[in-house]
Amino acid sequence: MKKKFTFELIAISIVYFLFISGCEKKYTEVIDPVQNVPPVVRNLQAPSVLTLHPTDTLKITISIEVFDADGKEDIKSVFFNSFLPDGSPSRSNPIYLYDDGNLQVNGDLTANDGIYSRIIILPPNTSKGTYRFEFQAIDRKNEISNIISHNLVVQ
């Protein structure tokens, strides 16, 4: 009788152990692939007012910091959508920013430092008024960041 009881206890322990380790395995399998933190955009550097002269083309650099808790390599793209003074979206949306260290083409000072940049060119015939830029980032799991909305007055 005692022997049988001991055997049962061992059997229960084994079953219990298998159950626990089975659970543990499932837990990591299910949790790991879906664990993701969306990116965050912050510290926008952009002018608020620009004075356009009839003969000048203005060249401005816009920069924004992007952070993703899953690592820099998880950031897929950084962009803004531009809205014209009449409220309509620009035909060139979305306008991408780059972290490639290409100062001449994109105005980016240092590659891979999390600061994304873009050079914007405003020809003399640019419509005057208030433009709205909406900055956002997206990561490799297609999760989107917060939006930073910025107004630029061209006068």
Footprint on this chain of Ca ion (rule: CB under 5 A)? 36-37, 68, 70, 74, 99, 108, 110, 113, 115, 139
The smaller minimum CB distance to Ca ion, of residues 70 and 134, is found at 70
CB of 4 to Ca ion, least distance (A): 55
The answer to whether the beta carbons of residues 146 and 82 sit under 8 Å apart is no
The answer to whether the beta carbons of residues 115 and 64 sit under 8 Å apart is yes
Q: Is the dihedral of CA 70, 45, 105, 133 positive or negative?
A: positive
The smaller minimum CB distance to Ca ion, of residues 37 and 144, is found at 37
The tokens describing 27, both together, are 């837990």
CB of 64 to Ca ion, least distance (A): 10
The smaller minimum CB distance to Ca ion, of residues 61 and 126, is found at 61
CB of 72 to Ca ion, least distance (A): 10
Residues forming a β-bridge with 133: 82, 150
> Helix (H, G, I), strand (E, B), or coil: what is residue 5?
helix
CB of 145 to Ca ion, least distance (A): 9
The tokens describing 103, both together, are 């100062």
